[in-house]
Amino acid sequence: MTLIQIQKEAVALSERERIDLVRTLLDTLPPAGLDVSDEEVAVRERELESGEVEPLSHEEFVSRVQKERRR
């Protein structure tokens, strides 16, 4: 079976089945690189403290992520 065939069959599944499939597939992937070095944290803190960057509220962050996902 080709990837295209699998994709066509997956799209034809019910919403519940697609959710289960996605969860199963995600469980097979390695964890996302969420580790942040102490150096990166220090750089970000300096940027915020110097005013070089403006902080975002949680609401603004969520709004921007949702907007980006709709693209």
Q: Positive or negative CA dihedral for 63, 65, 69, 71?
A: positive
* pLDDT tens-digit readout, 15-31: 999 999 999 999 999 88
Q: What is the 3-state secondary structure (H, E, C) of 17-66?
A: HHHHHHHHHHHCCCCCCCCCCHHHHHHHHHHHHHCCCCCCCHHHHHHHHH
pLDDT above 80: residue 34: no
pLDDT above 90: residue 35: no
The two structure tokens encoding residue 3: 């990837």
pTM, rounded to two decimals: 0.46
The confidence score (pLDDT) of residue 26 equals 94
Residue ranges per structural domain of the chain: 3-28+38-69
The two structure tokens encoding residue 33: 């690189």
